[in-house]
Structure 1
Amino acid sequence: MSTLNLQDIPRVKNISKEEFISNYYKPQKPVVIERFIEDWPAYTKWSLDYMKTIAGDKIVPLYDDRPVDYKDGFNDPHARMKMSDYVDLLKSKPTKYRIFLWNILKEIPQLQKDFSYPDLGLKLMKNLPMLFFGGKNSHTFMHYDIDLANIFHFHFEGKKLCILFDQKQNDYLYKIPHSLITREDIDFSNPDFNTWPALKNAKGWKCELNHGEILYMPEGYWHYMKYITPGFSMSLRAIPRRPKNLGKAIYNVLIMRHFDNFMRQIKGQKWIDWKNEQAISRTNKSF
């Protein structure tokens, strides 16, 4: 098995605001906080069965790991299903279908009673608590978020592999130009270094998240998530404070996304193919 150059993300049982800001936010380093939410109702209540009970009739958008197609709209789902049926699917067999960016406040407002917004020194966007679900062995592509936010990722039920890189590793990751993802045919849990030799030079972080643990991902960190068992997570986010990252976020939202959509409409699949080729040629030149 090929292994990336990854160090374990530091773990703490609990943490104060001052410790978090000094040890992790200011140096922009990730951390797993193991016992921070044990007083939340969600800690004991939230499970796949509970989500089935409370949201079973909701129609949820589902995504798999098919490559980006020029006809796809921004975040268009690949399928839809009742939450009750989706949970049954997750628990019955492995599936590639995932839910991401599912807004709790919009879909199931009463879930907000089960958690609170942690005071760790960053101003969280309270209108954007998002849920993410996945089945065994389903995964997200390596990507970073369009707003380069600071992210607190709370995991529930089961176990999840998380691999992170900071933006300094971009030259080695086969980043797709005018986009927020790497080549989609890279398996970051078991990479083929013969095909993707530059990955040997990338230095990153890894952890396995368990129920009730929080992963802090600093501004603009690349992240790849693979569900070792069926489960789900919630993300809370805070806008980037560093001027360079805030500038990138504004550019991504106002310019880059619209330019990419425009080029898809004009050039179709040729634009996607060109970007994929550029990811290889640019990375090979860099390393």
Structure 2
Amino acid sequence: MRLQKIPRVKTISKEDFIENYLRPQKPVVIEQLTADWDAFNKWSLEYISEIAGDKIVPLYDDRPVDYKDGFNEPHAKMRMKDYIDLLKTEPTDYRIFLYNLMKEVPQLQKDFKWPDIGLCLVKQLPMLFFGGANSKVFMHFDIDYSNILHFHFHGKKRCVILPPDQSKYLYKVPHALISREDIDFDNPDYKKWPALKYAEGYVTDLNHGEMLFMPEGYWHYMKYVTPGFSMSLRAFPRKFSNLAKAAYNVLVMRHYDNLMRRVQGQAWIDKKNEKAFVETHKKLGITKR
């Protein structure tokens, strides 16, 4: 894929962020937005283990979607302390995904500030994400088409993101928010997935305390270079068309997909994966399989 580095600034004014990134829907990394947060100095895996060690957390790995799995259904559960010990001692595919730990551990909310950056952030939805070294988050876009401020802590995380208009190259699975899960986005096989050669997007490595702005509807693939965790703050989509898509995804699409999994089983998953392949090539005029 043709990836360019995401622009970076150390700090930025509200006016410049709105004019140069929010309105044109362009990504940016702000390196020092968290410099005056308590979280910048306090947030580490050890700190999370200390204050939330007894919480039971949902875990996900990189296994392919199975028809028996519900929407965002976890693959395992574990005490936070045990999970963090696992992250620190050995490689693991287990990740914490979209977990509202802030609700479970309210004192974490005292460690960060809601940025005054031109977005009306949803105060009820600060989400945390954890992963071990080399664990991956499959290529997807978010169900609610939010504008996202994505902060990383403790280590390094690689982020590959692509605008919504690149969907036609990404082998999007019908009735889902993901691309084909058997694509290796670290080392794409262009003979098997030729459409990927035309995809254009962005890449960056987030370090401790840095924030990535991901505009609404952007695809993203994340890889934890080292064990660490991230926090996402979200704002509803500004475009009415994206707000309508978000409503459809939440109210119709996910329920329809769950129904078809129950009715057709694995055949439904296999059929969707085949359609992702066939329809992508058909739209682009690619005849070679």
Q: TM-score range by the shorter chain?
A: over 0.9
Secondary structure, aligned partner of 1:142: strand
Query: 2:139 maps to which residue?
Result: 142
Query: Would you say the 8 A contact 1:105–1:127 is kept in 2?
Result: no
**2:19 aligned to which of 18, 22, 42:** 22
Query: Would you say the 8 A contact 1:104–1:112 is kept in 2?
Result: no
**1:51 aligned to which of 48, 55, 64:** 48
Instruction: For 2:109 and 2:87, locate their aligned partners in 1 and report how far apart those are by CA, in whole Å.
Output: 24
Counterpart code for 2:84 = V
Structure 2: 5+ residue stretches without partners: 285-289
Secondary structure, aligned partner of 2:255: helix
Question: Aligned ranges for residues 47-196 of structure 1 at < 5 Å?
Answer: 47-196=44-193
**2:198 aligned to which of 201, 206, 222:** 201
Query: 2:281 maps to which residue?
Result: 284
* Cα deviation 1:211-263 (Å, max 9, x = unaligned): 00000000000000000000000000000010111111111111111111111
Between 103-112 and 6-15, report the one with greater CA deviation.
103-112
Large movers: runs of 4+ above 2 Å: none
Counterpart code for 1:272 = I
Normalized against structure 2, the TM-score is what? 0.97
Query: 1:5 maps to which residue?
Result: 2
Instruction: For 1:84 and 1:171, locate their aligned partners in 2 and report how far apart those are by CA, in whole Å.
Output: 42
* Cα deviation 1:7-60 (Å, max 9, x = unaligned): 000000001110000000011000000011110000000000000101111111
Aligned residues: 284
Counterpart code for 2:122 = M
Normalized against structure 1, the TM-score is what? 0.98
Counterpart code for 1:143 = H
Q: CA RMSD in A?
A: 0.7
State the shift of 1:105 in Å.
3.0
Identity over aligned pairs, percent: 68
Instruction: For 1:38 and 1:77, locate their aligned partners in 2 and report how far apart those are by CA, in whole Å.
Output: 34
Secondary structure, aligned partner of 1:140: strand
Between 58-67 and 99-108, report the one with greater CA deviation.
99-108
Instruction: For 2:112 and 2:45, locate their aligned partners in 1 and report how far apart those are by CA, in whole Å.
Output: 17
Counterpart code for 2:240 = P
Instruction: For 1:101 and 1:255, locate their aligned partners in 2 and report how far apart those are by CA, in whole Å.
Output: 20
State the shift of 1:104 in Å.
2.8
Counterpart code for 1:209 = L
